[in-house]
Chain A
Amino acid sequence: MLKTILPTIMLIPLAWLSKNNMLWINSTMYSLAISITCLPLMNLSCDNSLNMSLLFFSDSLSTPLLLLTVWLLPLMIMASQHHLSKEPDSQKKLYITMMVLLQTFLIMTFSATELIMFYILFEATLVPTLIMITRWGGQTERLNAGIYFLFYTLAGSLPLLVALVYTQASVGSLNLLLIQYWNHPSIQVWGSSALWLAYMMAFMVKMPLYGLHLWLPKAHVEAPIAGSMVLAAILLKLGGYGMLRITVMLNPITNFMTYPFLMLSLWGMIMTSSICLRQTDLKSLIAYSSVSHMALVIMAIMIQSPWSFMGATALMIAHGLTSSMLFCLANSNYERTHSRTMILARGLQMILPLMAAWWLLASLMNLALPPSINLIGELFVTTAMFSWSNLSIILLGINIIITALYSLYMLITTQRGKYTYHIHNIKPSFTRENTLMMLHLTPLLLLMVKPQIILGTLY
């Protein structure tokens, strides 16, 4: 793992010591090179995990998420070039430092063996993200957004610390490989429900669950593009990853404790999808669609069947790439019109046809078109939920329809129709932007061919 972590840390001196005209080129190219060093982790043997040391390991669940993380750093750097172009050089270098620091923490989080290390890095990822949102965001609401983001996540994860320390004291070890064999006491007391809640609430807030999702639209909308990308693509998946790791040791309390969260997720995904249909702000629409997709992941993890775990991991990777791509597309609109209002930049298909192609593909992926990996995730989750209870198909079906509705609504509003008379002076698409979309889309399209790698540990 050090072959990835050390070069990532060394990206910080690279940023500070580069010549000013080589700054973006250096950081993008070297972070792309680092993403290649992570590829050999895919060479896993059957179900086992690759235990690299006492601290780091990687198995078929953490490897796709790790690859997503390292793939995203060059994309974030590429996306930020334009909005930082007017800032002084030290600010640019500071921004790259924040991104690299976040990247390091994320790599270590996804490959952590001990749960305490996972927790410390889970909390540590909040700090660079908060700095990125509050310092480089666009509007004055970013301060409010930063506060909501920080305090919701902190309040959710403080019980997790207590629960982890208690488990360490009572069980003796929090090594992920060992706690699978922890025998639960068969007597269920109120305390075991409280322990279950303490474990899960941190990840529920992070995912986010429908009732606790208030931080997400604010943080996603007010963050700069790199912040939005990393929030949507990876930080949400931290919650999913944590839940997937912890549910192995929480049976049998899980049988009745999951009902409230399942109901919140089932109803919440329909609610948030419906809210998407009424949004004026483009980034807000994409943020609410993230909540809706993550509600599917929460449901899948709660019902704990092999298919649902496979669907959850596939959906996490697919949504990470799709959502990040949609934010990049929204940002390309924002850089041209300096407004996030959807109706302000209509009919772009006439003016920017190649960008329209990327919009089409991203919207089609978002609505889980076959044979994309989004569909694989959604289909597995839907089928597993159907076997959990036949009636859930009603709610899931409604959600799939509404997802298609708002994705197409977003596509049609921004691309089709007559363009507004004042957008004749829009700059054509930069090669950098087209490369960015292509780099987002290539993994999505290639994974269609071999989805086994993102299906997680139970494939």
Chain B
Amino acid sequence: MSHPKYKPSRLATLPPTLDPAEYDISPETRKAQAERLAIRSRLKREYLLQYNDPKRHGLIEDPALARWTYARTANVYPNFRPTPKNSLLGAVVGIGPLFFWYYVFKTDRDRKEKLIQEGKLDRKNNISY
């Protein structure tokens, strides 16, 4: 009997054993895969050493995660250097809109005030405003 062909879906990806392209992978890609596997195994070994240590009392900390959060939260300004691109970004996003919205609102309110002074605005009497 013939087995139906395996169709990969979003939650069930094609395993490498069924993928015909697996046999055509270049040596560079193989070397990269081996390096990544080496890093993963080293990290897993360090984790398991700490996990199975009977004298460990506290949490196991991931130093890479600590470095990442430190870089994202506390180490931003020491590595900041004003460049034309980020000064322009700061001006356009931080300072420009303040003046832009000031002119927008001022013109809108002055127009409304002019209409009120001329008596043309429909101002019904509101109890709450």
* B81 CB, nearest partner CB in chain A, Å: 19
Q: Are B129 and A307 in contact (CB under 8 A)?
A: yes
CB of B101 within 8 A of CB of A337, answer no
Interface contact B108-A281, CB-CB below 8 Å = no
Q: How far, in angstroms, from A391 to B98 measured CA to CA in the complex?
A: 14
CB of A254 closer than 8 Å to a CB of B: no
Given A263-B98, A267-B101, A338-B59; A141-B74 close (CB under 8 Å): yes
Identify whether the interface residues of B are mostly helix, strand, loop, or mixed: helix
Chain B proximity of A147: nearest CB distance (Å): 15
Q: Is the CB of A391 within 8 A of B73?
A: no
Q: Which of B73, B97, B105 contacts A389 (CB 8 A)?
A: B105
- Structural contact, A391 and B65, CB atoms closer than 8 A: no
Interface residue ranges of A1-41 to B (CB < 8 Å): none
> Contact: B73 with A259, CB < 8 Å?
no
Is there an interface contact between B72 and A280, defined as CB atoms closer than 8 Å?
A: yes
B105 and A392 contact, CB distance less than 8 A: yes
In the complex, the answer to whether A267 meets B97 with C-beta atoms within 8 Å is yes
A306→B126 CA distance, assembly (Å)? 12
Is A263 in contact with B108, judged by CB distance below 8 angstroms?
no
Which B residues are CB-close (under 8 A) to A422?
60
Interchain CB contact (< 8 A) of B69 among A263, A337, A341, A395: A341
Asked if residues A263 and B73 are in contact (CB atoms below 8 Å), the reply is no
- The complex places the Cα of A337 from the Cα of B101 at a distance, in Å, of 44
Name A239-260 residues within 8 Å CB distance of B: 259-260
A9 to B70, CA, bound (A): 41
Q: In the complex, what residues of A have CB within 8 A of residue B40's CB?
A: none
Measured in the bound complex, the distance between the Cα atoms of B60 and A390 in whole Å is: 55
Residue A447 lies at the interface, judged by CB distance under 8 Å to chain B: no
Scan B80-118; emit 1 where CB is below 8 A from any A CB, else 0: 000000000000011001100110111011001000000
Q: A43 to chain B: closest CB distance in Å?
A: 25
Judge whether B129 and A395 touch: CB under 8 Å. no
B128 within 8 A of A: yes
Q: Which residues on the B side are within 8 Å of A338 (C-beta)?
A: 59
Q: Per-position contact with B for A366-397: 1 when CB-CB < 8 Å, else 0?
A: 00000000000000000010011111100100
| A286 contacts the other chain (CB 8 A) | no
Q: Is the CB of A264 within 8 A of B129?
A: no
Determine if A234 is an interface residue (Cβ-Cβ < 8 Å): no
Which residues of the other chain, A, contact B106 by a CB distance below 8 angstroms? 259
* B102-A259 in contact (CB<8A): yes
- Cβ of A341 and Cβ of B65 under 8 Å apart? yes
Instruction: Indicate if the CB atoms of B129 and A387 lie closer than 8 Å.
Output: yes
Q: Which residues of B contact A271 (CB under 8 A)?
A: 93-94
Given the known A-B contacts A280-B73, A305-B129, are A389 and B109 also in contact in the complex, defined by CB atoms under 8 Å? Answer: yes
Q: Contact at B101–A266, with CB atoms within 8 Å?
A: yes
Q: Does A284 contact B (CB under 8 A)?
A: yes
Query: Judging by beta carbons under 8 Å apart, are B74 and A395 in contact?
Result: no
Known contacts A306-B129, A422-B60; A391/B105 CB under 8 A: yes
Chain B residue with the shortest CB-CB distance to A392: B105
What 0/1 readout, one digit per residue, does chain A (184-212) give for beta carbons within 8 Å of chain B? 00000000000000000000000000000
How far is A267 from B92 in the complex, measured between Cα atoms in Å? 12
Give the nearest-CB partner of B106 in chain A. A259
- Within A325-384, the residues touching B (CB, 8 Å) are 337-341, 344, 384
A389 cross-chain contacts in B, Cβ below 8 A? 105, 108-109, 112
Residues in chain B near residue A266, CB distance under 8 A: 101
Write out the residue numbers on chain B whose beta carbons fall within 8 Å of the beta carbon of A267.
97-98, 101
Q: Which residue of A lies closest to B58 (CB)?
A: A338
Interface readout for B2-38 with A: 1 if CB under 8 Å, 0 if not?
Answer: 0000000000000000000000000000000000000
Which residues from A are CB-within-8-Å of B129? 305-307, 384, 387
Query: Is A281 in contact with B101, judged by CB distance below 8 angstroms?
Result: no
In the complex, residue of chain B having the shortest beta-carbon distance to the beta carbon of A141: B74
B92 to chain A, nearest CB (A): 12
A391 cross-chain contacts in B, Cβ below 8 A:
104-105, 108
Complex contacts, B65 vs chain A, CB 8 Å: 339, 341, 344
Report the separation of the CA atoms of residues A306 and B69 in the bound assembly, to the nearest whole angstrom: 45
Q: Give Cα A437–Cα B105 distance, bound, in whole angstroms.
A: 42
Q: How far is the CB of A27 from the nearest CB of chain B, in Å? A: 29
Interface residues of A in 260-313 (CB under 8 A from B): 260, 262-264, 266-267, 271, 280-281, 284, 305-307
CB nearest neighbor in A for B72: A280
Smallest CB gap from A284: residue in B? B73
Task: List B contacts of A387 (CB < 8 A).
Answer: 129
A-B contact list, 15 entries, CB within 8 Å? A141-B74, A259-B102, A259-B106, A263-B98, A263-B101, A263-B102, A264-B98, A271-B94, A280-B68, A281-B69, A306-B129, A337-B59, A340-B69, A389-B109, A390-B108
Using a CB–CB distance below 8 Å, which chain A residues touch chain B? 141, 259-260, 262-264, 266-267, 271, 280-281, 284, 305-307, 337-341, 344, 384, 387-392, 395, 422
Can you add 7 more A-B contacts, CB < 8 Å, to A389-B112, A391-B105?
A259-B106, A260-B98, A280-B72, A339-B65, A341-B69, A384-B129, A391-B108
List 9 tightest A-B contacts by C-beta distance, closest first: A263-B98, A267-B97, A263-B102, A389-B105, A341-B69, A389-B108, A280-B72, A263-B101, A281-B73
